[in-house]
Structure 1
Amino acid sequence: MRKYIVTLLLSLMGFYASAQESDFILSYQMSLPLGNTSDYIGAFSGRGVGLEWKRHLLTTPVSYGFSVNWNILYEKVDERYHNPSEGIVADGRQYRYMNIVPILLHANYYFNKDGIINPYVGVGVGTYFINQRTSFGQWAFIDKNWHFGVAPEVGVVADVSSSFNMLFTIRYNQAFKAGNASDHSYLGFNVGFVF
């Protein structure tokens, strides 16, 4: 998995170097679990990072691109673990983790492309790799799945200097059900640097 992410990152840098009207974005990402995800892990997380490349069209206020993100959700709980499909019931302290890696294609529309403050709306479509782990001391239950998903977002690009801009976004991430794994969703609050 790591070699695929490294390959994507190197490709992203190559696209950035060859494109004239493009942006490279490095973002810090925070996550608020929703729906089935909040039933498993309800804690707000500040563990996330994202890389994104955007190519701007010259004639319209539209961009397209792709992103690779990594969000980690974590919570420690003291309750009974019950999984009737596997016949497992366990009591004790649980450490719950979710590593979520969205790989998305994006399209964005900008409302004030040449302004100092440039709000936009967009949508991402792609795949979410989700590694869900529940640990009890030396035992762990691990579930890894690829999900199809969408990520609508609203954001603002602020022109803060001649060498970079700042990006502030709110992104709703929805990874649909895959096989026996349930759907997952979370709200992402992202702050980034645009180069």
Structure 2
Amino acid sequence: MLNLFLKISFTFVIILGLSIKIQAQNLDFIVNYSKTNSVGDVHQMSLNGVGIDIRKHLSKVPISIGVASSYNFSEKEINTDYNSPIPDSDLKNFVIVPFQLNVHYYFNERGVISPFIGIGGSGYFIEQGYMVSQYALDLDGGSSSSREVKESNVSYGFMGELGFTTTFFDRINPFFSLKYNYVPTNDYNINYSNICVNVGLSF
């Protein structure tokens, strides 16, 4: 149910952002595909996702302020090699959703290619499923099965980003960035820090 709510929310925000873009000046609305890999405790974590980034450019300085979020997920099962809240379990069905406030500085804002760097604060909603083995007796002497137990939490951290925007065309242009998300150790003593590669379009 929560995942469905998040997907509906993303669709609503995209439509709202495009509507605002039509009426606003100096506003970038970015939609991107993201590939996320862990640099924290969950070494095998690899997520795919879709993100949105809305940036308001200030008129007198090459700086923008904005908000960003993404929905990142993986259905791959991961063998745990660290402290887990559920003993003898494997991880599956990761979901990480960051909500970020950011500031970016542009080195060549009026150029065809404009490199930028950015920093920001972030909240991270994290949900993961733990595949727990269950043993049930049958006529053949026993069989095994597993069921999924979901756990979720919210962590607060920060991000650093570098990349570039382009102005090859009038309305839609390529966008690229590399983002580091620092996600502090949570209540289960697990660090979910990651690096995210974003490729998309700026409107």
- State whether structure 2 residue 27 is matched by structure 1 residue 22: yes
Q: Which residue of 1 aligns with 2:160?
A: 152
Q: 1:131 to 1:77 in 2, by over 3 A?
A: closer
CA displacement at 1:63 relative to structure 2: 0.3
Q: Which residue of 2 aligns with 1:105?
A: 101
CA displacement at 1:135 relative to structure 2: 2.0
Q: Which residue of 2 aligns with 1:194?
A: 202
Compute the TM-score of the two structures, normalised by the length of structure 2: 0.79
Q: 1:116 to 1:65 in 2, by over 3 A?
A: same
CA RMSD in angstroms comes to: 2.6
CA displacement at 1:15 relative to structure 2: 4.0
Q: Which residue of 2 aligns with 1:114?
A: 110
Q: Which residue of 1 aligns with 2:65?
A: 64
CA distance in 2, matches of 1:102, 1:161: 30
3-state SS of 1:161 partner: coil
Aligned-residue sequence identity (percent) comes to 25
Q: Which residue of 1 aligns with 2:54?
A: 53
Q: 1:14 to 1:179 in 2, by over 3 A?
A: farther
CA distance in 2, matches of 1:8, 1:79: 35
CA displacement at 1:32 relative to structure 2: 1.4
Counterpart of 1:192, as a letter, is G
Compute the TM-score of the two structures, normalised by the length of structure 1: 0.82
Unaligned stretches of 5+ in structure 2?
Answer: 133-144
Q: Which residue of 2 aligns with 1:165?
A: 173
Which of the two has greater strand per residue?
A: 1
CA distance in 1, matches of 2:166, 2:68: 20
CA distance in 2, matches of 1:81, 1:179: 14
Q: 1:21 to 1:33 in 2, by over 3 A?
A: same
8 Å CA contact 2:37–2:46 kept in 1: the answer is yes
CA displacement at 1:141 relative to structure 2: 3.0
Counterpart of 2:88, as a letter, is V
8 Å CA contact 2:123–2:157 kept in 1: the answer is yes
Aligned length: 186
- State whether structure 2 residue 36 is matched by structure 1 residue 31: yes
Counterpart of 1:110, as a letter, is Y
Q: 1:118 to 1:81 in 2, by over 3 A?
A: closer
Bigger Rg over Cα = 2
